[in-house]
Amino acid sequence: MKNDTRQKILEAASALFLKGGTNALSVRAISEGAGMSTIGIYSHFKGKQGILDALYIEGVELVEKEMKAADGNTAAEKVINVCERILNFSESHTAHYHLIFASELKGYTPSDKAIEAGKNVFTTLATLTATLAKKDLSVEEKQDIAMQIWALNHGYITLNQHEISNRITWNNWKDRALQAIRLHVYALVATQ
């Protein structure tokens, strides 16, 4: 019963979050969406911070699921598919993406548990991108390659979500992103 109630709260919070981001989340709105009292929210999540942590972790787990579902006949194709999946995730789960990767959200600091979940997904990316190299890499080198790939992906996503995309010709932004990512991935393959 407790897990059902927790899930009901998360579903209500998730629906609000997807519609309006963190600004749409209030304990009162969540309690109305879940059909329960505000006290019920506090007993399960200790308020908005706990709900944001749960949504953060949920988002990170969704990103990791996308990474693990990537396919390709070569390491390069698999990494490119990971990037494509994350580009798509950024559109289908805009609020989650913003919660996880925005540099600063007013009133929210991820808990240690949420930060650990984020580290795990980065480790998954580093493991995947390390397969591009023909030699053994140090942990630092693996992280550097993952960060290069992530910076390209995140840069395009951020530009797409920024108001500048309304002022410039920004057709087929995902195709453009994937073209840049492909160039970089194949350069890494050639030089590693």
Name residue 63's amino acid: V
What tokens were used for 46?
């200790």
Best CA proximity match to 40, nearest among 26, 30, 49: 30
Mapping DSSP to helix (H, G, I), strand (E, B) and coil, where does residue 52 land? helix
Would you say 45 and 39 are in contact if contact means Cβ atoms under 8 Å apart? no
- Which CATH architecture does the domain made up of 52-191 adopt? Orthogonal Bundle (1.10)
Domain boundaries, the chain: 1-46, 52-191
pLDDT (tens, 9 = 90+) of the chain, 192 residues, equals 567 888 888 888 888 887 877 778 888 999 999 998 888 888 888 888 888 899 899 999 999 999 999 999 999 999 999 999 999 999 998 888 888 887 666 778 899 999 999 999 999 999 999 989 888 888 899 899 999 999 999 999 988 887 676 777 778 889 999 999 999 999 999 887
| 8 A C-beta contact, residue 82 and residue 91 | no
Cβ atoms 27, 68 nearer than 8 A: no
CB count in 10 Å sphere of residue 42: 14
Which CATH number is associated with domain 1-46?
1.10.10.60
Whole-structure pTM value: 0.84
The neighbour count for residue 10, using CB atoms within 10 Å, is 19
